[in-house]
Structure 1
Amino acid sequence: MRRRLPVLFTLLLCAGAAQAAREPVLKQVDLPHSYYWRELYLPQLTTGPSSASFLPDGDTLVYSMAGSLWRQRIDGDSATELTHPARAYDYQPDAARDGRSVVFARYDGNAVELWQLDLASGHEQALTSGGAVNVEPRLSPDGKRIAWVSTRGTGHFNLFVADLDAAGLHHAHMLLGERKSTTDRYYYSAFDHAINPSWSPDGKTLYYVSNPEITLGTGDLWSVPLDDPSHRRRILSEETSWSAQPELSPDGKRLLYSSYHGRQWQQLWLTTPEGAPPLPLSFGDFDRRNARWSPDGKRIAYIDNRDGNTALRVVEALGGATRTVAATKRSYRQPQAHLVLDIVDEHGARTPARVAVLASDGRAHAPRTAWMQADDSFDRAVQKTETHYFDCAPPCALDVPAGPTRILVQHGFAYAPWQQTVTAAAGSAAHLRAQLQPQRLPAAFGDWISADLHIHMNYGGHYHNTPAHLAQQARAEDLDLAWDLVVNKEERFPDIASFRTDPDPASTARTLVLHGQEYHTSLWGHLGLLGLDDHLLMPGFASYRHTAMASPYPTNGVIADLAHAEGGVVGYVHPFDTLPDPVHDAVLTDELPADVIHGKVDYIEVMGFSDHKATAQVWYRLLNLGFHLPTGAGTDAMANYASLRGPVGLNRVFLDTGGQLDQAAALTALKAGHGFASNGPLLGLLLDGAKPGDTLAAPGRHHYRVALRSPVAVDHLELVQNGKVVKRFTLSGDRHRFDGEGDIDLAGGWVLLRAWNDGADPLLLDLYPYATTNPVWLGDHVLAPGARDDAAWFALWMKRVIEAASARDDYNTAEEKRATLDYLNQARDAYLALASGAAPALPRGAR
């Protein structure tokens, strides 16, 4: 393995490796919206504790931390590492009642399998195999059976049980069987799930969570007798969010679980096996989860994120006295070395940055208090597991197993990645200094600030984020402006208390934290609302089927008007994962074309949590019709997640504000199209001295000047006019840098510069490298040659949207339906007019 590690890490760091193929983590799970269930349900690598189980004495815990299992007395500060698998991570321990063994879940990059650890001998035994996702193992009170959740055979989360003896599992079977709900669900599979199992003290009943005929939330609390699964019983209706984990007290009288129950954060609650009205056991503006009773019922161990990172606490059930179980002293299974990393910029000044550390054990490591975060996809031909990383405010120190350790440091797009391998001997300390080298665009192309227009500070993740910590995350990514969009998560608005119309007090001279809103409707598409000067728009979402807010009204156009009345700026966020097909798509409801031709849209996230190339194709068609619709960019980063698509600032827009860092200047440049969007490459474009967003008087022969600076190798650099490539630039060497100029004949319409790759790059945690400038316009409102065909395409698109809107029977009033259909029909008629060569009756172009 030590011989292979350098090869693996070299491939990881090798920009431009042959057609890297990113695939989702745990791709065998057949559920929509992996960014919910992965973070909210499956165990993740955190430097702090993530789950715990009491040993029989009630004074000792076995818990998961940093991918290993540990044992520690609750009144001590010393922890002993029990497991440390190579190239894998251990989670979710459950201790046998006799104290002899622990079952747990092990993730190796391909699957999650169940294992058993003999505490006396240290022997480890695999209990499952086959490549499914197996989680939440729970031993019966007599230790002869085990219940867990598995995707085996279906790709869905189902409840399994099996007999267990020294030879392993026997008679494993799905307890409840597959069931498909008749209600339609957007965020959850059509197939019901059964999760969060626990045993009754007599071993005859399982308690769990399931969602038959529930539209939102992971479901209600249920019980099922093992000897008669057909007689399962709903205990309590509770719109839980993946982590209820009901567990009956040892006396069988109180059912403990975690819930947000009308609040913004998960706390501990109690009901009874009969479903008595629940009462809160804990309070606070942070999460308490993964709670377990002690064997005598006098204590409860749980995980909370009160201080930001995860922590293990134990509370006395009577009186509420609480202690923190902190592993100040650690006894490792492998010899350790100590690393200290300092990071400086080109001037020698310390600067925070994103760091990935891969040690000789093939596992990711971080400082003890750092937030470990991870990519959502990776190329299995290059890496064994997804990339894990942390933010380092230098100097940062960490312990790693002795041997070769690979370190990667990245700081935004204007600095080259820094990487080094260090071999540290056991008991030694190594000090590293990473000096970052800038690679900026020439000043002639603009004086930029960078902005991520779409961040969610908190969204149900493992960590508890704050504006001050968000500012630190942005600073590590060399991001100037971090826009937190307050948004609902089903029944919650986790960051609603942070909303304000002026910059957050946590902002610094170099990093601005602002708060806006994402308006949710899964029918029309999601909106980003920036610069609201009075209040959030409520209820914050529309068209949630089978709820009191099921009506398709208001349309996004109505919401845009309300936002504009507050001085806000309106954008379409994460628009398209695939290019819409008005002819063949089964259903088409996205309202973007209507809102653009009605003049409601100020920007579109061509770069976002979507497919950039597919979105660009729609954008080009709108530009061809003369709509001055600029690109923005937003990562849609759930910044308190341990597993997320990318860090804050992964997708960002560079705005030419003359270097001015304030909200008004940023919004002015955004609406004017003065800038470019990117997930890595930096682009500069001048056309006869005009910059993106500018308009030249007439077509003809023009002088261009272009520049590229990129932290990763770039395959293609092109000038695009009216949707067609008119100039390809030849990139050579390491393909990180290019400067060129020349003359070109251009007809009327628009022209922009784009950079893109055919496949992914392991250094860039996105689908593939991509960047695009905004257009330079050639003549005011000059239609591209193919504009009439584009207009006809949008007219057909609107026809399909009107069909879908007409078929809905859940408008609150006839007036809501009439207003909706009138708005959509007016847009379709306007596109038909453009397709025929006539002038539309509606105002054309974004505000």
Structure 2
Amino acid sequence: GELWSVELSSGETSKLLDDGFNPTYSPDGQRLAFDGRLAGAQRVWIADTRGRNPRQVTSDSSEAVVHTEPRWSPDGAAIVFRRVEKLKSDIAIVNPTTQAVTRVTDDYVVDVSPTWTPDGRGVVFSSSRGGGMNLWRARLGNDGAPAGLEQLTTGAGDDVQASVHPDGRQLAFSVRGINSDLWQLPVSPETGRATANPSPVLGTTRVESRGTWSRDGRQLAFNSDRAGEMNIWVLESPGRERRVTSGAGGDYQPDWAPDGQALVFFSARGGNTDIWQVRLADTALTRLTDAAALDINPAYSPDGRRIAFVSDRSGRFEVWVMGSDGSDQRQVASVGCWGHFVAWTADGKAVVFRGERDRQMQIYRADMESGALTAMRPVHSGGHMSFSPSQALIMDVSSHKVLWVHPVSGGEPYEVYQFPDPDVRIDYPRWSPNGRTIVFDRAAPRGADLWTLEAF
């Protein structure tokens, strides 16, 4: 793209640069920051307001890494930007004079659209780290280093493009609507290949997401914002749906206890993102974790005595395990855990997850007692893995578009299904207990609204 300017008094336009995106003026109006490919890789640059004397201010280890969305700090001494490397989308800050870079986030969730607070002591950005795409604030210490993350918004829709009021007491943002329904795809239990076309299970104008079958296959739990807040619901029979949690905070990704009497999920309803349990008989809630960290993606063991989950309490996302009552919480592995599901093996002796070694994604099997790791065959993504009941096959989704099956013991993976509409996403596939159905999210955009947040 080209960079242009327009004189507001006369309407006269001027071309500044042949290559540039996301321009932003410095607070004193004397410089322009932008991202572009003037020297090959997409990096952050600064120039004068006429586009003259451009100077690259960021660099990186690979030309495949992209630097984008620069924004000046209020004092003009730093620029925050987004760093994209394969599946990673993080926030970083560069000093344009020294070119020293400080990483604000560094993990495998999606962080986008950074902007400064007026005092320069914080960065507000959109992130998927709490379940949905919501607004977060990174507080910065006196030395400019990150000093903690705070979730500002919860709930459905994508909260993006935040703008902080100059007095620092209010921010405006867009809520990008998503119509997400639960669909089912009939498949062969032996091969995972589709045996018929997909059809809707639940469809509203809101978000119905992350469906999971009870162990007997008779009920489907899911999270939905159909009543206003993102809560946990149960489809007890066709046309009969029951809300089992209520209130603000955002409740996501339920998983069934083997006896069908309870669900675990993660939520920020207590002020921090933790693992919660709801008893279905009376909808009583129990908070199972309460650490100053993000605890997400819980999964009951086959015997129901333990719960595996993902936590960043040790500095990055790792697999943890605890008793079903929240006792004996301990870390299982130390290779990172990046993805939406942790899957138990049928014997309950290990979990399978997507980890990282030497900055490369790898599927691992971790022994729950010893922590010993075994590398498994690669899968296309690994972020949405679901085992077939026999555990001979893994269903996953690639690029939020295509369902794939990967034979665990060998053989080439094969494509199962994708929608012809390029705007439609597929997420969170889960195999039914009898192996004959895959339930998944079918999501499509539906416009956006403007919101404000007071006294944040």
Tell me the TM-score normalized by structure 1: 0.29
Cα pair 1:222 1:236 within 8 Å, conserved = no
1:38–1:354 distance in 2 versus 1, CA, 3 Å: closer
Alignment of 1:15-94 (within 5 A): 30-31=105-106, 34-35=111-112, 38-39=127-128, 42-44=131-133, 45-46=156-157, 47-66=206-225, 67-73=230-236, 76-85=238-247, 87-94=248-255
Confirm whether residue 143 of structure 1 aligns to residue 318 of structure 2.
no
Whether 2:419 is the aligned partner of 1:257: answer: no
Of 329, 343, 349, the match for 1:172 = 329
Distance 2:410 2:260 in 1: 31
Q: What is the rounded CA distance, in whole Å, between the counterparts of 2:408 and 2:371 in structure 1? A: 17
Correspondence 1:308 to 2:445: yes
Q: Per the alignment, do residues 109 and 228 of structure 1 end up closer, same or farther by CA in structure 2, a change over 3 Å counting?
A: closer
Alignment deviations for residues 622-646 of structure 1 (CA, whole Å, 9 cap, x no partner): xxxxxxxxxxxxxxxxxxxxxxxxx
Q: CA deviation at 1:64?
A: 0.1
Report whether the alignment pairs 1:159 with 2:319. yes
- Paired with 1:88 and 1:41, the residues of 2 have a C-alpha distance of 10
Task: Quote the offset at 1:88 in angstroms.
Answer: 1.5
Deviation at 1:220, TM superposition (A): 2.9
Q: Deviations over 1:385-409 (max 9, x none)?
A: xxxxxxxxxxxxxxxxxxxxxxxxx
3-state SS, counterpart of residue 236 of structure 1: coil
Name 1:274's counterpart in structure 2.
Answer: 409
TM-superposed CA distance for 1:353, in Å, is 8.4
**1:43 & 1:95 partners in 2: Cα distance?**
21
Q: Hey, what's the Cα distance between the residues in 2 that align with 1:35 and 1:251?
A: 39
Map Cα deviations across residues 781-810 of structure 1 (whole Å, 9 max, x no partner): xxxxxxxxxxxxxxxxxxxxxxxxxxxxxx
Aligned residues between the structures: 266
Structure 1 Cα separation of the partners of residues 314 and 129 of structure 2: 23
Q: Following TM superposition, by how much is the alpha carbon of 1:134 offset from its aligned partner in structure 2, in angstroms?
A: 0.9
Contact 2:362 2:375 in 1 (8 A): no
Contact 1:113 1:135 in 2 (8 A): yes
CA RMSD of superposed structures (Å) = 3.2
Match of 2:286 among 125, 138, 162: 125
Give CA deviations for 1:483-537 in whole Å, capped at 9, x if unaligned: xxxxxxxxxxxxxxxxxxxxxxxxxxxxxxxxxxxxxxxxxxxxxxxxxxxxxxx
Alignment of 1:753-772 (within 5 A): none
3-state secondary structure, aligned to 1:235: coil
**Aligned equivalent of 2:385:** 246
Change (3 A) 1:213 1:276: farther
SS at match of 2:328: strand
Question: 1:270 offset after TM fit, Å?
Answer: 1.1
Shift of 1:60: 1.8
Secondary structure of the equivalent of 2:405?
strand
- Residue in structure 1 matched with residue 351 of structure 2 by the alignment: 206
Counterparts of 2:383 and 2:261 in 1: how far apart (Å)?
A: 28
Q: Which has the larger radius of gyration?
A: 1
Partner letter of residue 317 of structure 2? F
1:161 CA displacement? 1.0
Distance change >3 Å, CA 353–CA 304, structure 1 → 2: closer
Q: Distance in 1 between matches of 2:129 and 2:314?
A: 23
Give the whole-Å Cα distance in 1 for the aligned partners of 2:274 and 2:233: 19
Aligned CA distance change for structure 1 residues 129 and 208 (closer, same or farther; 3 Å):
same
Query: Contact 2:332–2:366 (CA<8 Å) still a contact in 1?
Result: no
When residues 208 and 148 of structure 1 are mapped into structure 2, their CA distance, relative to the original with a 3 A threshold, is same
Determine if the alignment matches structure 1 residue 297 to structure 2 residue 392: no
**How far apart are residue 129 of structure 1 and its match?**
0.4
The 1:30–1:98 alpha-carbon spacing in structure 2 relative to 1, beyond 3 Å, is same
Mapping of 1:357-368 within 5 angstroms?
none
1:33-62 Cα distance to aligned partner (Å, 9 max, x none) = 622993388335243112111123313211
TM-score, length basis structure 2: 0.52
Q: Which has the higher helix share?
A: 1
The verdict on how the C-alpha distance between 1:41 and 1:131 changes in structure 2, with shifts beyond 3 A counting, is closer
- Within 2, Cα distance between the matches of 1:211 and 1:252? 23
Give the superposition deviation at 1:157: 1.1
Shift in Å, 1:71: 1.1
Distance 2:246 2:298 in 1: 19
Tell me if the contact between 1:110 and 1:131 (Cα under 8 Å) persists in the aligned partners. Answer: no
How far did 1:244 drift?
Answer: 2.2
Q: Deviations over 1:290-332 (max 9, x none)?
A: 1112222222211111x436xxxxxxxxxxxxxxxxxxxxxxx
3-state SS of 2:232 partner: strand
Checking the alignment, whether the CA contact within 8 Å between 1:113 and 1:131 is kept in structure 2 is: no
Aligned partner of 2:375 in structure 1 is 233
Q: Distance in 2 between matches of 1:107 and 1:275?
A: 40
1:208–1:245 CA contact under 8 A, matched in 2? no
User: How far did 1:250 drift?
Assistant: 1.3
Q: Report sequence identity in percent.
A: 21
| Aligned partner letter, 2:111 | S
Compared CA separation, residues 105 and 274, structure 1 to 2 (3 A): same
- Opposite residue 206 of structure 1, the aligned amino acid is V
Match of 1:727 in 2: none
Q: Is the 8 A contact 2:379 2:406 kept in 1?
A: no
User: Secondary structure of 2:217's partner?
Assistant: coil
Asked if the contact 1:248/1:256 (under 8 Å) is kept, the reply is yes
Deviation at 1:354, TM superposition (A): 3.2
Report 1:563-574 matches (<5 A): none
Give the Å deviation of 1:197.
0.9
Mapped partners of 1:62, 1:249: distance in 2:
18
In 2, Cα distance between equivalents of 1:298 and 1:40: 32
Distance (Å, rounded) in 2 between the aligned partners of 1:109 and 1:115? 10
- Looking at structure 2, the residues matched to 59 and 123 of structure 1 have their Cα atoms a distance apart, in angstroms, of 22
1:281 maps to a residue whose letter is V
Q: What amino acid is aligned across from residue 57 of structure 1 in structure 2?
A: D
For residue 234 of structure 2, what is the amino acid of its counterpart? R
CA deviation after TM superposition for structure 1 residue 267, in Å:
2.1
C-alpha contact 2:130 2:294 (8 A) present in aligned 1: no
1:94: Cα distance to partner? 0.4
Task: After TM superposition, give the deviation of residue 235 of structure 1 in Å.
Answer: 2.1
Change beyond 3 A, Cα 1:300–1:73 = farther
* 3-state SS of 1:170 partner: coil
1:287 aligns to what? Answer: 425
**1:197/1:245 contact within 8 Å kept:** no
**Does the Cα contact within 8 Å between 2:392 and 2:409 map onto a contact in 1?**
no
Q: Which secondary structure does the structure 2 equivalent of 1:209 belong to?
A: strand
> Given the alignment of the two structures, is residue 197 of structure 1 paired with residue 342 of structure 2, yes or no?
yes
Closer, same or farther in 2 for the Cα pair 1:353/1:202, shift >3 Å?
Answer: closer
- Alpha-carbon deviation of 1:73? 4.0
Question: Deviation of residue 160 (structure 1)?
Answer: 0.7
Given that 1:64 and 1:93 are in contact with CA atoms closer than 8 Å, whether structure 2 keeps it comes out as yes
CA distance in structure 2 between the partners assigned to 1:95 and 1:231 by the alignment? 26
How many angstroms apart in 2 are the aligned matches of 1:125 and 1:40?
22
In 2, Cα distance between equivalents of 1:257 and 1:274: 16
**CA deviation string 1:722-747 (max 9, x = no partner):** xxxxxxxxxxxxxxxxxxxxxxxxxx
Offset at 1:107? 1.7
Which consecutive residues of structure 1, in runs of 5 or more, have no partner in the other structure? 1-18, 20-26, 180-191, 310-351, 357-374, 384-847
Q: Is the 8 A contact 2:311 2:317 kept in 1?
A: yes
CA contact (8 A) 2:274 2:287 kept: yes
Structure 1 counterpart of 2:193: none
